[in-house]
Chains A and B, each alone.
Chain A
Amino acid sequence: MATSELDLLKELGDAIRESRARFCYECGKCTGVCPVARYDNGFSPRSLLVRAVRGEGERLVDDVNVWSCLTCKLCDTRCPAGIDYGILTKAVRAVVRREGGEGTCTHGGAVQSLTKIMTARKLKQDRLEWVDGSMKTKKSGDTVFFVGCAPYFEVLFEETGASPLDAARGAVRLLNAAGVTPVLLPNERCCGHDLLWNGDVENFRMLARQNLAMLEESGAKRVIVACPEGYATLRNDYPAHFGELPFEVIHLTEFLAEAIEGGELEFGGAAEETVVTYQDPCRLGRHMGIYDAPRRVIEALPGVTLVEMPRSRERGICCGVGGFQNCTSFSKMIQAARLREAKATGADALVTACPKCEIHLGCALSDPALSDELGLRIVDVAVLAASRLA
């Protein structure tokens, strides 16, 4: 599917305008702060941007650097010209992909295959077997809990020690404890986040449409999402592609923080003392601006003390892989450095709100040398909070 050069330039032109890329004065702060560039001296967000602006779009097709960006938006926070690298990267990838360029999918492309399989309309998944009798859920109602790909990740990433399903179970228990019986969609599709950031807009839209149709059918007025990527995608990208949504999208920690402060959610007394530090997922933090809600939840837990890493909140470091693509030795270096930083705070556990942070950092921690050195646990905020329910 070759695009005419004119279309290509037009599409890039739109993204360049929207992202303010022309305002770049090549100060190089983006490259200076980039977690990938710190280890991979062949990668530079600045030079990628400059090449896109110069109209070298077609020459980017064979450039592996197009796919090296984690899209963590750390560069955005430093850019004195206020450039939005996220918009630019997304557009460049979509264009490059249509011209035949491709990133290297991690895990043999298993995640991408799963999500593309989910575009099939005839598919009838069997994805709710993790729900047990102790959880209250229903078939239709005004609050939907959007589970995300947790059931699949649970199988695929068993070795990393991550359990996204425990997080989903924790989330449902917490919702129940706060008096909410959520609707779970039996045939929910992947939100399409990874495909979108891999540049595969077409398949992203197929997934989004199916999810939107199911959500509307369920009668949802409010959709609670625990996965930050799903949250960012539902809240930002779905409306950008399909117009205003007929429901509100909120993140689990936003809901929990409010429920705690409103007195609807209470935790039990005698629990084991623990010191934790919090990993800001890039989608939740820099993409969506939610830094306080997860901290409010953690601080409300009995026996839990929160300590901060030097690089937290807007300065938080990404877990090293974005969109299950281009996991390299540099990713491992980013992860190891991040885990050491977490340990240096004196914490026993690293708490995160994102299944992918848990998977990627868990993968780095499955190196016995590193796990022996650090003795750190990684735990999802929903699992930690649910373990302190009265």
Chain B
Amino acid sequence: MASAGSAESAAGKSAAGESAAGKSAAGESAAGKGVGAAVGKREGGASAAGAFEPRVVAFACNWCSYPAADAAGINKMQYPPNARIIRVMCAGRIHPAFVLKALELGADGVLVSGCHFADCHYLFGAKRASEQFEKTAKLVHLLGLEPERVRFEMISAAEAPKFVRVMHEFVDDLRKLGPTPLDGAEQGELEVPGAVGDEHT
């Protein structure tokens, strides 16, 4: 999957960008573009009832959930193809900003999947991931989005069946929720009664 490849390197770069806290403008915006490519455009749209196919962005850790997805593929296990998987070196890197960016760009749901706490290759990364995700969930709540639109999982490399189950569950849940209210097509300037001066931009 081409988008997963480019997104992966983008996420890698941004990790360097943030820690350097310097003037590199490449980092975060590159990660944003990676997510953008992963979200893509909705084809056909959600017009006909029942035809709605949720678009999912899944951030998966290189050491556990990503190999689990791989193993599911190698074993020819069937799961819904709705997710664009973005591989990251550790789920601890997934700041709320990445999930929000995916939502902003029109993802119907975002999955963050990392190692079990004791398995994380970077000691406290998975713990950090769950703390970050708590923040994400709070922000999603404030925005008034359904809590089911974001999901945190711990899936080890040996748990391909779990990966498959989670994908089924998540996509089913999202199907029930329907399309995200943040779909760009619905946005646009609102008419303000009595406001004038549109020419000034």
Contact = CB atoms under 8 A, between A and B. Distances in A.
Given A110-B97, A158-B135, A213-B191, 12 more contacts: A67-B25, A105-B28, A105-B29, A108-B18, A109-B32, A116-B104, A117-B100, A122-B182, A123-B181, A212-B195, A216-B193, A329-B21
Contacts of A327: 21
B155 to A, nearest CB: 24
Identify the 5 closest CB pairs spanning chains A and B, nearest first: A108-B97, A110-B97, A122-B181, A113-B100, A243-B196
20 contacts: A68-B23, A103-B25, A104-B17, A108-B95, A109-B97, A110-B96, A121-B187, A122-B181, A123-B143, A126-B143, A205-B189, A206-B187, A206-B190, A209-B189, A213-B193, A216-B194, A242-B192, A242-B196, A242-B197, A328-B22
A188 to B, nearest CB: 12
Contact of B29 (A102, A107, A152, A240): A102
Given A108-B28, A108-B98, A242-B196, A155 B139 contact: yes
B76 interface: no
B182 A123 contact: yes
Nearest to B104: A113
B31 interface: yes
Interface string B126-151: 00000000010011011110000000
A125 B139 CA distance: 10
B53 to A, nearest CB: 20
Contacts of B25: 64, 67, 102-104
B24 A104 contact: yes
Interface in B74-133: 95-98, 100-101, 103-104
B185 to A, nearest CB: 11
B187 A126 contact: no
A98 B201 CA distance: 13
B44 interface: no
Given A104-B24, A108-B28, A121 B190 contact: yes
Nearest to B181: A122
A205 B135 contact: no
B95 A120 contact: no
A149 B65 CA distance: 35
A125 B195 contact: no
A125 B181 CA distance: 12
A152 B188 CA distance: 23
A125 B193 contact: no
A68 B197 CA distance: 31
Interface of B: 14, 17-18, 21-25, 27-29, 31-32, 95-98, 100-101, 103-104, 135, 138-139, 141-144, 181-182, 186-198, 200-201
B190 to A, nearest CB: 5
Contacts of A114: 100, 139, 143
A124 B23 CA distance: 36
Contacts of B98: 108
Contacts of A120: 181-182, 186-187
A278 to B, nearest CB: 28
B195 A209 contact: yes
Nearest to B97: A108
Contacts of A337: none
Given A113-B100, A212-B195, A108 B14 contact: yes
A243 to B, nearest CB: 4
Given A64-B25, A212-B195, A243-B197, A119 B187 contact: yes
Interface residues of A, number: 47
A122 B201 contact: no
A204 to B, nearest CB: 10
B65 to A, nearest CB: 21
Nearest to A246: B194
Contact of B97 (A113, A125, A127, A210): A113
Interface string A32-55: 000000000000000000000000
B187 A243 contact: no
Nearest to B196: A243
A88 interface: no
Interface in A161-211: 201, 205-206, 209-210
Contact of B103 (A68, A117, A126, A329): A117
A122 B146 CA distance: 13
A141 interface: no
A241 interface: yes
A326 interface: yes
Interface in A319-360: 326-329
Nearest to B14: A108
A13 interface: no
A151 B190 CA distance: 24
A239 B33 CA distance: 34
B142 A151 contact: yes
A110 B195 contact: no
A241 B139 CA distance: 30
Given A117-B103, A124-B144, A240-B200, A209 B192 contact: yes
A156 B136 CA distance: 9
Contacts of A213: 190-193
